[in-house]
Chain A
Amino acid sequence: MSQQDPTPTSRRPIHAGRVGLLLLVLAVLLVPVPTSHTPRTHHITIDASQFEYSPSRLAINQGDTVHVTLASSDVVHGFFLDGYEIEHRVEPGISQEFTFVADRTGKFHYRCSVTCGPLHPFMIGELVVGPNELVWRASGLAIIAVGAMLAGARQRRSV
């Protein structure tokens, strides 16, 4: 009867570790990233040709206005921007113009939406709208997973 159950005290560090881990994960997922960017307007000419866009990668910030002049230098191409669902078709010699506000952050592919040859499904460019929180948050989660796993193993050993 006088014997005490050691479980509650020995598990205390593990419980504390789990709570700490949960808080860390929530912080990585939810803490907003501060931005002090003044929105600006970009005038960008995108040239489409088999099977690439030039420029193939654009980097802007959230809130920026993007005015695109889309041109084709060989056959009919399309332009579809993932996440923004913007779609345009462009014929050689007849450029298309459109404007959008980059209100969503992250990396978005722009891809050809008109069959233009064998590599058509892989005619892809990238628009990165900063701050690219998702990649940082996902990377943070990956690092936490490694740290937590190793810390858990160390703690289990010491307990």
Chain B
Amino acid sequence: MLLSRAFQPVSMLLLLVPYTLAVTAGLLGTSAGNRNFGIVFVWIVWWAVLMVLLVPGLGRAWCTVCPIPAPGEWMQRRGIIGGVVKLRGMGLRWPRRFRNMWVQNAGFLIMALFSTVILTRPSVSAAVIVGLTGVAVGMSLLFEKRTFCKYVCPVGGFIGLYSMVAPIELRVRDAQVCVEHRSKDCITGNENGYGCPWMVYPGKLGRNLDCGLCTECLKTCTMDNVVINLRRPGADLAQPVPGKRIDEAFKALIMLACSIIYPAVLFGPWATIKEWAAIDSFGGWLIYAVGFLTATVVVVPGLYWLAVARGHRRSSSNLTVRRAFNEYSHALIPLGLAAWIAFSVGFALTNGSYALAAISDPLGWGWNLFGTRDVAWTPYLSGAMPFIQAAILVSGLFFSLRTSLKVGLRRDPSGATTVQTTTPIAAFLLAATLILLWMYLG
């Protein structure tokens, strides 16, 4: 199935149906978010499926089927399924200085600043989805291949980061086969498929972060050397972080900070903060925005930097603190993902029953297509939820600690300074976990 040229475009086409319905409902349907298909299916159903099932279970599988880049990609390819053709568009290369996650980090923060409005106002939610699609189409005309997905998409950034936890990977069987294979069809493409749309050379692919799971290399590899493996969850996290850039570490820190702020703002009992976040007044939102950005970009990364620096001082390593900051950022990923799963599980099980009404009456106009319009709101597992969230968070901490120790042992295989270097990082992870536990349970 994965080798069929129809697999990816047909999946995208199928998802364009709920996508179109979500946008239509957002623009034309009821303004009551919990009765509007656009809000219920995007921010309750899709979000929960993404964060609870797809990312931890299948990594970047969502990027395989995401409909947002589909129109742009089909314009480049001059068709939806069809044969492999020369790509249309200007094919410009993305500027070198932006070939990192900073644009994605900025995009995510901008969306996060307005997230309370986005996930409660159907028209705003629809405008954001249409806007992202417009940017994706525009970039497909200007830039080569999936430049939007790789460097700009604010969702793709954190999906890629957390996909490193997933128990599946696309890799080559034998890297030496790739070295010796001169035609490099996975890069250039051939009659069976396009050269990697994510501009990745599979022969050197070491982490899920970089691979969009588009399956083109499975089709183009004439050596049958590309495979999808089952593996130990989180196997990528023990790999070194390539380069000296700290954009990836910042992505992990921003996501962890947001996973703490979101439940406080949305699930907490503080109505004033909710009103600020929902832009009831510009002054209130400004206070919220300054606080949010200070916490996500300054306070949490600053505290983590201090933790890494303190441990680094006691190590025998001759690497810089910046490099250590980067290397240990993998330890933030399991806890960050666990925090997002705890958030998403709580939100989805509490509000998931709205989906039954919304599917029968997607626009909130009184239709009753499947006879479920009047199904009453019912929170599921409300009594068990704190236990579920506690288990998820403590498990996330456990895997983060393991990762930090593995990174420490990789940097100092003798283990002589591992405890000293990782203790401050463990303290940082513990503090984040305790804050999350007290927010959900305390």
Which residues of A34-58 have CB atoms within 8 Å of chain B's CB atoms? 51-53, 56-57
Cβ–Cβ < 8 Å partners of B416 in chain A: 157
Cβ–Cβ < 8 Å partners of B402 in chain A: 149
Q: Let me know if A113 is at the binding interface, CB within 8 A.
A: yes
Q: Let me know if B386 is at the binding interface, CB within 8 A.
A: yes
Which residues of B358-415 have CB atoms within 8 Å of chain A's CB atoms? 377, 379, 382-383, 385-387, 390, 393-394, 397-398, 401-402, 405, 408, 415
- Which of B268, B274, B434 interacts with A139 by CB under 8 Å? B434
Q: Let me know if B190 is at the binding interface, CB within 8 A.
A: no
Decide yes or no: A139 and B437 within 8 Å by CB, A118-B121, A145-B394 being known contacts: yes
- CB-based contact B268/A142 at 8 Å: no
Cβ–Cβ < 8 Å partners of A83 in chain B: 382-383
- CB-based contact B34/A120 at 8 Å: yes
CA distance A80 to B380 in the complex (A): 12
CA distance A85 to B398 in the complex (A): 33
For A105-121 the 0/1 string (1 means CB < 8 A from B) is: 01111010101011111
Decide yes or no: A118 and B423 within 8 Å by CB, A111-B350, A145-B398 being known contacts: no
- Which of A117, A120, A123, A153 interacts with B419 by CB under 8 Å? A153
- CB-based contact B385/A56 at 8 Å: no
User: How distant is A143 from chain B, measured CB to nearest CB, in Å?
Assistant: 7
- CB-based contact B383/A146 at 8 Å: no
Cβ–Cβ < 8 Å partners of B405 in chain A: 149, 153
User: How distant is A60 from chain B, measured CB to nearest CB, in Å?
Assistant: 15
- CB-based contact B394/A142 at 8 Å: yes
Cβ–Cβ < 8 Å partners of A150 in chain B: 419, 422-423, 426
- CB-based contact B269/A153 at 8 Å: no
Cβ–Cβ < 8 Å partners of B401 in chain A: 145-146, 149
CA distance A113 to B379 in the complex (A): 10
- CB-based contact B266/A107 at 8 Å: no
Q: Let me know if A134 is at the binding interface, CB within 8 A.
A: yes
Q: Let me know if A19 is at the binding interface, CB within 8 A.
A: no
Q: Let me know if B222 is at the binding interface, CB within 8 A.
A: no
- CB-based contact A138/B394 at 8 Å: yes
- Which of A56, A121, A135, A142 interacts with B270 by CB under 8 Å? A56
- CB-based contact B267/A122 at 8 Å: yes
- Which of A85, A118, A124, A156 interacts with B267 by CB under 8 Å? A124
CA distance A82 to B121 in the complex (A): 26
Cβ–Cβ < 8 Å partners of A138 in chain B: 390, 393-394, 437, 441
Q: Give the number of residues in B that approach A within 8 Å (Cβ atoms).
A: 52
Decide yes or no: A132 and B419 within 8 Å by CB, A104-B383, A153-B405 being known contacts: no
Decide yes or no: A154 and B419 within 8 Å by CB, A85-B382, A106-B386, A138-B390 being known contacts: yes
Cβ–Cβ < 8 Å partners of A115 in chain B: 32, 34-35
- Which of B271, B278, B394, B433 interacts with A118 by CB under 8 Å? B278
Q: Let me know if A64 is at the binding interface, CB within 8 A.
A: no
User: How distant is A16 from chain B, measured CB to nearest CB, in Å?
Assistant: 19
Q: Let me know if B293 is at the binding interface, CB within 8 A.
A: no
CA distance A106 to B430 in the complex (A): 21
CA distance A53 to B121 in the complex (A): 22
- CB-based contact A142/B274 at 8 Å: no
Q: Let me know if B64 is at the binding interface, CB within 8 A.
A: no
- CB-based contact B31/A119 at 8 Å: no
User: How distant is B43 from chain A, measured CB to nearest CB, in Å?
Assistant: 10
User: How distant is B307 from chain A, measured CB to nearest CB, in Å?
Assistant: 13
User: How distant is A116 from chain B, measured CB to nearest CB, in Å?
Assistant: 9
Q: Let me know if A126 is at the binding interface, CB within 8 A.
A: yes
Closest B residue by C-beta to A82: B382
User: How distant is B412 from chain A, measured CB to nearest CB, in Å?
Assistant: 10
Closest A residue by C-beta to B44: A121
- CB-based contact A119/B120 at 8 Å: yes
Q: Let me know if A141 is at the binding interface, CB within 8 A.
A: yes
Cβ–Cβ < 8 Å partners of B408 in chain A: 153
Query: Given known contacts A56-B269, A122-B116, what 11 new A-B pairs fall within 8 Å (CB)?
Result: A52-B274, A111-B350, A111-B379, A119-B278, A121-B351, A125-B269, A142-B393, A146-B397, A146-B426, A149-B401, A157-B419
